[in-house]
Structure 1
Amino acid sequence: MSSTTTVLPLRNIPGSYGLPLLGSIKDRLDYFWFQGSDSFFRTRKLKYKSTVFRTNMPPSFPFFFDVNPKVVVLTDSKSFATLFDISTVEKKDVLVGDYMPSVNYTGKMRVLAYLDPSEPKHSLVKNFAIDVLKSSSKVWVSELFSNLDTMWSTIESDISNNGSSIFLVPLQKCLFRFLTKSLIGADPAARPEIGDGGFALLDKWLALQLLPTISIGVLQPLEEIFLHSFQYPFALVSGDYKKLYQFVEAEGKEVVEKGRKDYNLTTEEVIHNLLFILGFNAFGGFTIFLPKLISTIGGDKTGLQAKLREEVRKNKEPLGFDALRSLELVQSTVYEVLRLNPPVALQYARARKDFVLSSHDSAYEIRKGELLCGYQPLAMRDEMVFDRPDEFVPDRFTGEKGRKLLDYLFWSNGPQTATPGSSNKQCAAKDYVVATASLLVAWIFTRYDEFKCDDSSSAITSVVKAGEGK
């Protein structure tokens, strides 16, 4: 891409919000039913011949009111980057757009994800989160590998007994134990209801908050009527959340005390933020991303597994954070899956002031208070940045040229080359996510020569242990 500064033509933002009530209903039904989310954005991009356009975004409560958020959509990498400029945009209460789950789900307080960096509490909680991650690094790798061993032993047993293994539940159990012990220093086994079913408690807590914003593919129009037309009351999971809260309070005393003593947070602020980081950011994010990583590698028919296996087994260092420096293809594969399938597809921000937004070819006037909606799967398939943008290219981020592309990898609410801090909204665990996924891939190829996933990408159908292949 050229670095030459050019004056872009000022253009009115195309698109509209349609007629009152009817326009918002049409866009909502297109998004959830007739087109689906990806086609919703792609068709409008083509229709308006613009990567920036106006539309309505669901959810709306109740269905028959014209209250859909009216947004300016950004689908190219240049305009999308504006969402990270805190001097220009505000991030207060826009994690999932104009819709915000009840604060009852988070102890009647706004946790870190909903705070703007300009709010005093943001820096305290963000720095606390970064500190917790640094402290967890002492056990991160050992806990990950210990729980991977349990997970894949279960998968092997399922394949032996049933011919395949639907791996989501074993993965979630692995993630819950690993993250709870690493981040909170608490052993789920200390409480049977947490050790056996803690992952399911988090699943329900997450689902009730996000159901109004996602499509689950049930029979329409039942999904619109019962899932997208109202917020679910916290009372449905209050008992589950209380169990998780009491578990952290009793078993995670050291990290709770760190938040109280070093960051002047109350016990309630520490625990509710820890549960959100654990459940929403870490457990929820990995639950979306890692199955796609596993199924992409397991379903590949281009010889990728042989290349990954060779790179992993050439490494002479003990498998850990330091060893990742020599696993360039492994990390590039992780980056490429994140590029094509970011765990969070939509990024939101509200204009802090009037400003001029730039795409690659045009400029647009944005007014203070307008809600910006970035659709990440298109922004990271920008043909102005990425060759063959819709193809899975595992070695895309290797070499000097590939590393420069990390400036346009935005999955973490900021470019991969940036550093999370109290002055921005980038994921505090950005580097831990990449490292964890890379270690997962490397661990697999120290234990197995290959593995295969079925066409549905939800099940592993075979594994070949190291040394047992041809």
Structure 2
Amino acid sequence: MSSKQVPVKQIPGSYGLPFLGAISDRHDFFYKQGRDKFFATRIQQHNSTVLRTNMPPGPLISSDPRVIALLDAVSFPTLLDNDKVEKLNVLDGTFMPSTNFTGGYRVCAYLDTREQNHTLLKRFFLQMLADRKDAFVPLFRNCLQEAFIEIQDQLSRKSGKADFNGVFTDASFNFIFRLLCDNKHPSLTNLASQGPKLVNKWLVFQLAPLATLGLPRIFNYIEDFLIRTLPFPAWLAKSSYKKLYDAFETSATTFLDAAENAGLDRTEACHNLVFLAGFNAYGGLKNQFPVVIKHVGLCGEKLHGDLVSEIRRVVSDEGGITVSSLEKMSLLKSVVYEVMRIEPAVPYQYARTREDLVVRSHDASFEVKKGEMLFGYQTFATKDPRVFEDAEVFVPGRFIGEGEKLLKHVFWSNGPETEDPSPTNKQCPGKNLVVLLCRLFLVELFLRYDTFEIEVAPSAFGPAITIKSLTKASTI
């Protein structure tokens, strides 16, 4: 990107008439255009990647849907500069679900970096993950073994098809629960096998205003009225959340004891733990693994063969699967980064400006007033054609060798891939763990199988994947 001087311009775009403008933009976003066309059309119309628009859910759930959209790789990082922006109650955008969904507490994800409790909670989360680092690989491999057995069983008994999402939703929840709860399997608690269903119900009532079911057009306005007129009350998920809370309260004793020793209130720590496990970790992984297998699957046998060759060679040379052996698989690492670049699991970022500031794009600078809401569509930032060659194309080896320099433009974790989470930023505390799990998933897949075939269908939250075939490994 050039360091040339650029002109200062007024931010283009319009919010339209009060109330009606937000409704119109909402219908364009969900039903008439879809999110990519929604932004692409406005970029073309205004000849600018920084512009004003409204973002869902709008009236009546959001009191102020107006945002300044940052839609390129130069302007987007403004959202990550905690000296310039505030992240107070903006996790879900221009509205915030009731704290009754989280026991009456504003959990860490809704706290700004300058709030004392944010630093205390984030530091504790990072230390908790560091203390469990030796369990990551063996525990997740155990969960993967159970998952692949179930996939194979479904292929045998369901006319050659297996529900990838369903199986790996369970695997993701089991891993997270066991990691945080002293390796206790959720089936041995009051959750039995219902953990994922309980979390899904709890998540749906919070996030429904941000999604669409993809129903036939004649139902669009009915759907919009039902899920975006008023927020869903927390009592609809009260019983589900209580079961989750009780399970973590009785099973995560090591975590909660350590939280108390760190100066945290035990009850507040448990509500934060449920949110971390259910919203952040499980909610992310249940979408991330389908995205990974979607892109690797669609690349076909050539990429599969290259990954098989690298993975099996390194595992043989290193005598097993370790964190250090995963680091030696350059193609595998690049593939995972490319997945996160081309389809970030969390596509939106929001922040409110702390002060008057200037936001720069490739071609212009824009003055933004204190208190205005900034919005970033991560998918456009990480597919910026002025940064990435063939930006819309999945290139497996993009980040090998000199390509590693581009990792500073990969922002999937609410921060650049080249930086790490800390108590003073809003980057995902499990960022490095997610990368590790995605690599480990592909390693286990290609140690067992030479290739596979999938079907991909859209769903409200991420792709729905059906496994059509798995070709067992011909070599070890």
TM-score under structure 1 normalisation?
0.96
Residue 192 of structure 1, CA deviation: 5.1
Report if aligned partners of 1:58, 1:68 keep a CA contact under 8 Å in 2. Answer: no
Inter-partner Cα distance in structure 1 for 2:186 and 2:266: 23
The one-character-per-residue Cα deviations of 1:36-93 (angstroms, maximum 9, x if unpaired) are: 1121111111111100000011112438xx9451000000011000111111110111
Cα 1:327–1:386 change in 2 (3 A) is same
Partner of 1:98: 94
Classify 1:385/1:186 alpha carbon distance in 2 versus 1 (closer, same or farther; 3 Å). same
Q: CA deviation at 1:301?
A: 2.7
Identity %: 39
Whether the 8 Å CA contact 1:126–1:421 is kept in 2: the answer is yes
User: In the alignment, which of 157, 161, 164 is matched to residue 161 of structure 2?
Assistant: 164
Contact 1:186 1:248 in 2 (8 A): no
Q: Which runs of 5+ in 1 are unaligned?
A: none
What per-residue deviation string (whole Å, max 9, x for no partner) do you get for residues 369-420 of structure 1?
0000000110101111100000000110111x21100000000001000121
Counterpart among 11, 21, 32 of residue 19 in structure 2: 21
Q: 2:470 corresponds to which residue?
A: 463
Question: Residue 181 in 1 paired to residue 182 in 2?
Answer: no
Equivalent position of 1:142 in the other structure: 138
C-alpha contact 1:159 1:461 (8 A) present in aligned 2? yes
When the two structures are aligned, how many residues end up with a matched partner?
A: 463
Contact 1:57/1:68, CA 8 A, preserved across alignment: no
Q: State the distance in 2 between where 1:353 and 1:133 align.
A: 34
Letter in 2 for 1:143: L
Q: Name 1:305's counterpart in structure 2.
A: 304
Which residue identity lines up with residue 10 of structure 1 in the other structure? Answer: V
Residue type of the alignment partner of 2:431: K
Partner of 2:240: 240
> Deviation at 1:300?
2.0
Equivalent residue, structure 1, for 2:430: 429
- The structure-2 alpha-carbon separation of the partners of 1:36 and 1:258, relative to structure 1 and needing over 3 Å to count, comes to same
Residue 434 of structure 1 deviates from its aligned partner by 0.6
- How far residue 465 of structure 1 moved from its aligned partner, in angstroms, is 1.4
Structural RMSD (CA): 1.5
Write the letter of the residue equivalent to 1:386.
Answer: F
After superposition, what is the alpha-carbon deviation per residue over 1:310-331, rounded to whole angstroms, capped at 9, x for unaligned? 0001112221211111111111
Listed as ranges, the matches of 1:187-336 within 5 Å are 187-189=184-186, 191=188, 193-218=190-215, 219-261=219-261, 263-301=262-300, 303-315=302-314, 316-317=317-318, 318-336=320-338
Question: Which one-letter code corresponds to 1:17 in the other structure?
Answer: Y
How has the CA–CA distance of structure 1 residues 113 and 452 changed in structure 2, closer, same or farther, with 3 Å as cutoff?
A: same
Residue 251 of structure 1, CA deviation = 1.0
* Match of residue 413 from structure 1: 414
Q: Give distance in 1, aligned partners of 2:296 and 2:29.
A: 30
Question: Please, which runs of 5 or more residues in structure 2 have no aligned partner?
Answer: 458-463
CA distance in 1, matches of 2:467, 2:326: 25
**Superposition deviation, residue 220 in structure 1:** 1.1
Task: Tell me the alpha carbon deviations over residues 296-318 of structure 1, each in whole angstroms, 9 at most, x when there is no partner.
Answer: 21232361000000000111222
Is the CA contact 1:59–1:68 (under 8 Å) kept in the aligned structure 2?
no
SS of residue paired to 1:392: coil
| 2:81 pairs with 1:85 | yes
2:351 match: secondary structure: strand
Instruction: Say if 2:358 is the partner of 1:361.
Output: no
Q: Deviation digits for residues 267-296 of structure 1, max 9, x if unmatched? A: 112111111111111100111111011122
Q: Deviations over 1:119-144 (max 9, x none)?
A: 00011000111011112212111111
SS at match of 1:179: helix
Letter in 1 for 2:131: S
Q: Is contact 2:177-2:186 (8 Å) kept? A: no
Whether the 8 Å CA contact 1:90–1:116 is kept in 2: the answer is: yes
Alignment of 1:45-124 (within 5 A): 45-62=43-60, 67-124=63-120
Cα distance in 2 between the residues matched to 1:175 and 1:185: 16
The farther-off stretch of 177-186 and 148-157 is: 177-186
Greater mean deviation of Cα atoms: 54-63 or 130-139: 54-63
Letter in 2 for 1:137: K
Instruction: Give me the whole-angstrom Cα distance separating, in 2, the residues matched to 1:415 and 1:330.
Output: 19
Q: Which residue does 2:443 correspond to in 1?
A: 442
Contact 1:299 1:455 in 2 (8 A): no
Contact residue 189 and residue 247 of structure 2 kept, 8 A: no
Q: What secondary structure sits across from 2:363 in the alignment?
A: coil
Map 1:34-49 → 2, pairs under 5 A: 34-49=32-47
Counterpart CA distance in 1 for 2:188 and 2:96 is 32
Of residues 54-63 and 42-51 in structure 1, the stretch that sits farther from structure 2 once superposed is 54-63
Query: CA 1:77 to 1:336, structure 2 compared with 1: closer, same or farther past 3 Å?
Result: same
Deviations 1:430-463 (A, max 9, x none): 1111111001101111111111112536100111
